[in-house]
Amino acid sequence: MSKVLRINMEDLSHKWQNVKPAHKTYAGRAFTSTILSEEVDPTCHPLREQNKIVISPGLLAGTLAPSSGRLSVGAKSPLTGGIKEANAGGLTGTRLGNLGVRGIIIEGAPKNSKDWYSILVGKDKCEILKTNQYAGIGLYDLIGKVWKDHPTKPGIIGCGVAGQRLLENAGVFGNNIENSDPGRYAGRGGLGAVFGSKRIVAVISDGKGGSRPEAKDQEKFDEARKTFVKSLNAHAVTGKLKDDKGEPYGGLKNYGTNILLNILSEAGGLPTRGFRSGRFDKAAKISGEAVHDLVDKTKAKFGDKAEGKYAHACHPGCVMACSNIVPYEETGKQHVSPLEYETAWSLGANLGIGILHDVAELNRLCNDIGLDTIEAGNTIAMFMEAGIIPFGDGPKAIALLKKAYDEDSVEGRLVSSGAQTAGKTLGVTRIPSVKGQALPAYDPRPIKGIGVTYATSTMGADHTAGYTIAAEILGIKGKVTDPRDLKKAELSQAFQATTAYIDSTGYCLFIAFCILDDDDGFNAMKTTVDSFLGEDIDVTSYGKDVLKKEREFNKKAGFTEADDRLPEFFKTEPLPPHNVVFDVPDEELDAVFKGF
């Protein structure tokens, strides 16, 4: 029986509650957004006691369904001022699923406290621990200390020094399976700062004594999950590492999400040097292929001592394994994990930096300080736009980011505060953000559908909210798919609704690559969810219901259609090589959520 843990940080108390009957099908994003919409005043200050943090493993987390261990974290966002859900892999989703925890709701804040706390969740237990020793340190150190203090290999999420200082680009870190890196981030929207506002450094999930959640129809569930695994393994994107001849096969396992860097550059949609070009002449140097090559070289040189990896799982039971461990070329030891496409873009192509080591180092620093990499790259770009450091200068970007460790450094605080705050402070007029959140790695001028998602998403500019990229460039059922076609409202809405459903199941969004191709895979995926719950869930209705709650929250928070717009420069500055602007009419943007 799933339970909800409610924690009050004002009096450091907690209580266990049953899942409300009306919430019985909600988990992950559906749970976090429902609780926020029911319990949080949308006009509250996101960094004061009225805001709440809601943590929820996806519906199937902890089960044997493949790639289903994602964790959602929600709160009113300090970065956007609206509702926020960010999700990630790591260990915590699986641990909470095994413990039977549907959600953790953290409310209130200690009054005038200078102490820092951690929440230890175990089988039918919760302790709120005073852990000042975990505050003010890098997150690589922190996760090491936590596993030393709690030797049951717990999941850990929380905030780094950026969140502890209430800075708006603070992400929620998570430890990886090996506990070698805090890089499993529910990164977007500044939710790490909400943890800091409640004086919480870490939530530690000890899975000891836990068990696999049982499906209502276990036989049907097991059959469906096995079919789904077969479907995922057979697909050229999500499939096996090597073919029968030993040659690279599955795109994600070999090259990770960063397979996209070369492809988007070739397609002319890779935002480069502050969204000035759609192609990066050094894309190959920081691509997934380059990481694959570096891993192979260091394995050949250092043998068993080499720590680099591809086909690395981001959470227990992930069969797609798109994560990686980037090694130092000189030693073969781990530099950072993972280096994702969005990060290679934001800290690489977006800054004009084409040296893999420098990009990996910027990524490692973000992971250690507790920053979202997409926002961090866009923020450093503001310093480059302002002429404070030059585009393409990796060492200067690294030096700037290192200032974030120093509590007394104004530049350090600014580089941790997001692109909009930094851009405005530095007199930049080309700030690539929507609702205060910076754009990810697809330029909305040649790929207009993703521009519609950026503009209209409840989350601010977010590619995952409605990933139309492939559908636009390549094709989708019944749709005209030229990326320059303007009718994108229906496409974006359909993707946003389906995404909200997937974000609630615990499944990684990347299963979409397979289920859109393979009807058997789609049906098996849906059957796992339905047989787990014991009822037939309509994918689109479920997703739309989540979106409606999020839109309503944002409306009450003061958002209007005028906030569903891209920055002006996307409409006026043509992007080479296609030399197009974002010209989707406002009426088309407003049509996405007409009737919601």
Partner 1 sequence: MTVTTDSIEIHLYGCLRKLVKGSRPDEDTTMTLEYVENETFIELIERLGLKRSDIGDCFLNGTLAKPKDIVPKGARVGIFPFNMVLLCGGQHLKGHGYTRDDVDVDYYQ
Which residue ranges make up the site for partner 1 (CB under 8 A)? 236-237, 247-252, 254-255, 257, 259-260, 262-263, 266-269, 278-279, 281, 284-285, 287, 289-290, 292-294, 356, 446, 469-471, 473-482, 510, 512-517, 577-578
Nearest approach, Cβ of residue 506 and partner 1 (Å) = 19
Query: For helices 288-302 and 260-267, what crossing angle results, to 10°?
Result: 150
Closer residue to partner 1 in complex, CB, 3/242:
242
Q: Please give the C-alpha separations between residue 337 and each of 69, 149, 407, 587, in angstroms, as whole numbers.
A: 18, 23, 26, 42
Tell me the closest approach of the beta carbon of residue 388 to partner 1, in angstroms. Answer: 30
- Provide Rg for the chain, Cα atoms: 22
Task: State the minimum distance, in angstroms, from the CB of residue 249 to partner 1.
Answer: 6
Record the tokens describing residue 316, joined without a space.
């227990």
Q: Residue 482: exposed, middle, or buried by beta-carbon count in 10 A (0-12, 13-18, 19+)?
A: exposed
Residue nearer to partner 1 on the CB measure, 236 or 410: 236
Tokens of residue 413, six digits: 């605080």
φ and ψ at residue 341, rounded to 5 degrees: -55, -50
Nearer to partner 1, 142 or 469 (CB): 469
Residue 245 or 594 with smaller CB distance to partner 1: 245
Shortest reach from residue 302's CB to partner 1, in Å: 19
Q: Where are the beta strands (DSSP E) in 309-464?
A: 309-312, 323-327, 334-336, 433-434, 437-438
Query: Taking the complex as a whole, how short is the minimal distance between the CB of residue 504 and partner 1, in angstroms?
Result: 19
Helix (H) or strand (E) holding 76: strand 71-76
388 vs 480 by CB, closer to partner 1: 480
Residue 1, Cβ neighbours under 10 Å: how many?
A: 7
Residue 75 per-residue DSSP state:
E
The two three-digit tokens of residue 57, written as one number: 């493993």
- SS3 string, 180-207, reads CCCECCECHHHHHHHHHHCCEEEEEECC
Q: How far is the CB of 359 from partner 1 (least distance, A)?
A: 12
Comparing CB distances to partner 1, the nearer of 410 and 486 is 486
Pick 161 or 497: Cβ nearer partner 1? 497
Q: How far is the CB of 349 from partner 1 (least distance, A)?
A: 14
- Prior bond to 577 cis, omega within 30? yes
Pairing of strands 200-205, 117-122: parallel
Residue with smaller CB distance to partner 1, 279 or 312: 279
Cα(289)–Cα(287) distance, integer angstroms:
5
101-107/3-8 β-pairing: parallel
| Residue from 353, 411, 418, 345 nearest 379 by CA | 418
Instruction: Decide: helix, strand or coil at residue 312.
Output: strand
The tokens describing 98, both together, are 């095994």
Q: Helix 448-456 and helix 489-505: axis angle, to 10°?
A: 60
Q: Which of residues 14 and 292 has its CB atom nearest to partner 1 in the complex?
A: 292
172, 54 Cβ separation under 8 angstroms: no
Nearest residue (CB) to partner 1, 249 versus 328: 249
Other CB atoms within 10 Å distance of the CB of residue 135: 20
How long, in residues, is the chain?
Answer: 596
* Alpha helix positions (H), 303-355: 341-346
Q: Nearer Cβ to partner 1, position 120 or 252?
A: 252
The dihedrals phi and psi of 465, each to the nearest 5 degrees, come to: -65, -25
Q: How far is the CB of 262 from partner 1 (least distance, A)?
A: 5
Q: Which residue's CB is nearer to partner 1, number 387 or number 577? A: 577
| Bridge partners, residue 156, by sequence | 204
CB of 285 to partner 1, least distance (A): 5
In the complex with partner 1, the residue whose CB is nearer, 262 or 496, is: 262
* The amino acid at 408: D
